[in-house]
Amino acid sequence: MTDSLVKNFLTVRDLWVSYPSRAGQDCFTAVKGVGFDIPQRRTMGLVGESGSGKSSTALAVMRLIRASAGSISLGGVELTSLTGRALRAQRPKFQMIFQDPASSLNPRQRAVDILTEPMHLCGLGQKSQRIEMARELLAQVGLSSSSLMLFPHQFSGGQRQRLVIARALATRPELVVADEPVSALDAAVQAQILNLLGSLRDNFGLTVLFISHDLGVVQHACHEVGVMYRGLLIERAPTEKLFSAPAHPYTWALLSASVTDWGLREALKTIFGSGLENGVAADPDQKEKAARKKSLTPNFETTQPVSSTRSITKSIKWAISGCLKESGGQILNPRLSEDGSEGCNFLQCPLAEEKCRTQEPVLTEFEPGHLSRCRLAAEIRRQGQAVLELASSPAFGQMTAAA
């Protein structure tokens, strides 16, 4: 059955999205030529900080906002050129799960209408069957059929998100775009929803585009991961490959900021800089900014005890430089570079060199299945693996415990 699955079910080619800024002169380009494709029944994650354009990409794929350039095709059907009735005919095939449960349900509609409206719009089944189908959907997302007649404000946050998921499944879609589905929820409820999404994806055979700013959630939920920075897809790889050792300095910066194990954090900091002040004063995408209500920073599962907070000592720095020497690399000493118009858009890159400023890097596949937009991709991945190797070795553990 698997070979009949379409290799590239959702293909996005050279997608550009720009918003006319209020002042009217320069419009803000949120997505700059992003391209990826997702095989059928697979889940791809898009990770990035707010303003990286991940939500804009999701909205463009859903044809909720107009992309200024690029092509999107789902199951072979070209979506970008469709408009009006033709587009509406295709809409049931791809649905969306939104982030903020408080604003994604119509406060004046009861649960039964919320679920039957999509069915009515795409003409699924007869009017009499729809209430029965709605009851079934509620059961599948773990809500009792007695809540059919309730209004959204009579549900808790987690239950409202279950209703949002049920609505997305009402038209039996093949592709589901989930824009930060769990970010607005508490830790315990978040886990319930992630489990629910996982089981529904397998039962319904859904292809999912999963948007999140949270690396732990993406590693748990996605088969493939794409990292976005200021509108550009800077790295794409299967989850195992990416998290074993990323190949782009920005991904490392994201990782080092999300890691809560103090020892590893200091080790990563010596190589890839101490996390970066995202100096973007203007807020490009206010909605993404507002979407960051309850972010979750995952922790690095370590074998040794989590040590309490202390500052770095000389011995650790020496150990790291020693191990790098054996692996034949010299320490790429972190230098913060100021500005730079063309060339690599990662302005605060600690490893930036002259060439980075002049040539425009391209997303290249330096290893099978692993693409990165950095000239030093292979080098960074190798050195990163070495540091992670060292950090998880028991010797390093005692050292951090002692320090």
Partner 1 sequence: MTVIKDVSDLESADNSQRSSQLEGTGRFFGRLGEFWRGFKKNPASVIGLILLAAVVVMIIIGPLIYQLDPFDIVSAPFTPPDENFRLGTDYVGRDILAGVLSGGRASLSVGLFAALITAAIGLTVGSLSGFFGGWIDTLLMKVTEFFQVLPTLLFAMVLVTIFGPTWVTVTVSIGLASWMNVARLTRAEFMRLREFDFVRSAVAAGASSARLMMVTILPNALPPIVVAAAFDISFAILLEGSLSFLGLGDPNRMSWGLIIGQNKNYALRAWWTVVFPGAAIFLSVLSVCLMSDGLNDALNPRRERRF
Partner 2 sequence: MVLAVENLFIHGPSSSGPVAVVESLTLALPAATTLALVGESGCGKTITALSIMGLLPPGFFITSGSVKLGGEELTFLSKTELRQRRGKSMAMIFQEPMTALNPVMTVGRQITEVLLTHRVCPPSQARDKAIALLGQVGLKEPEKRFSSYPHEFSGGMRQRVMCVMAICANPQLIIADEPTTALDATVQAQILELLRELQSQSGAAILLITHNLLAASILADRLTVLYAGSVMETGPTAAVLNSPAHPYTRGLLGSQPRLRLGRDALCGIPPTLAAISGQVPPPGRRPLGCAFFSRCPQALKDCRDNRPHPVSKGPEHQAACFR
Question: Which residue, chain included where needed, has tokens 């996982």?
Answer: 198
Q: Which residue stretch of 45-53, 117-125, 230-238, 240-248 sits at the interface with partner 1 (rule: CB under 8 A)?
A: 117-125
Q: Is 366 in the site for partner 2 (CB under 8 A)?
A: no
DSSP 218: H
Among residues 150 and 194, whose Cβ is nearest to partner 1? 150
Give least dist CB 159 to partner 1, A.
6
Q: Is 127 in the site for partner 1 (CB under 8 A)?
A: no
Give least dist CB 101 to partner 1, A.
9
Give the footprint of partner 1 on residues 258-297 (CB under 8 A).
287
Tokens of 302: 């370590």
Calpha distance 375→359 (Å, rounded): 10
Q: Is 244 in the site for partner 2 (CB under 8 A)?
A: yes
Calpha distance 97→164 (Å, rounded): 6
Q: Is 389 in the site for partner 2 (CB under 8 A)?
A: yes
**Which residues are paired to 74 by β-bridges?**
10, 77
- Cβ contact 255:225 at 8 Å: no
Which of 9, 36, 155, 272 is in the footprint of partner 1 by CB under 8 A? 155
Candidates 332, 322, 290; CA nearest to 396 is: 322
- Cβ contact 176:168 at 8 Å: yes
Residues in the chain: 403
Give least dist CB 28 to partner 1, A.
16
Among residues 72 and 266, whose Cβ is nearest to partner 2? 266
DSSP 187: H
Which of 77, 81, 88, 335 is in the footprint of partner 1 by CB under 8 A? 88
Calpha distance 272→377 (Å, rounded): 13
The separation between CA 297 and the C-alpha centre of its own chain, rounded to angstroms, equals 14
Question: Which residue, chain included where needed, has tokens 């380009």?
Answer: 29
The separation between CA 371 and the C-alpha centre of its own chain, rounded to angstroms, equals 16
Q: Which residue stretch of 92-100, 110-118, 125-133, 293-301 sits at the interface with partner 2 (rule: CB under 8 A)?
A: 293-301
Q: Is 105 in the site for partner 1 (CB under 8 A)?
A: yes
Q: Is 139 in the site for partner 1 (CB under 8 A)?
A: no
Q: Is 66 in the site for partner 1 (CB under 8 A)?
A: no
**Which residues are paired to 28 by β-bridges?**
19
Q: Is 30 in the site for partner 1 (CB under 8 A)?
A: no
- Cβ contact 247:253 at 8 Å: no
Q: Which residue stretch of 47-55, 161-169, 194-202, 218-226 sits at the interface with partner 1 (rule: CB under 8 A)?
A: 161-169
User: Which chain residues interact with partner 1 by CB under 8 A?
Assistant: 59, 62, 64, 88-89, 91-92, 94-96, 98-100, 103-108, 112, 117-118, 121-122, 131, 143-151, 153-156, 159, 164, 167-168, 170-171, 287
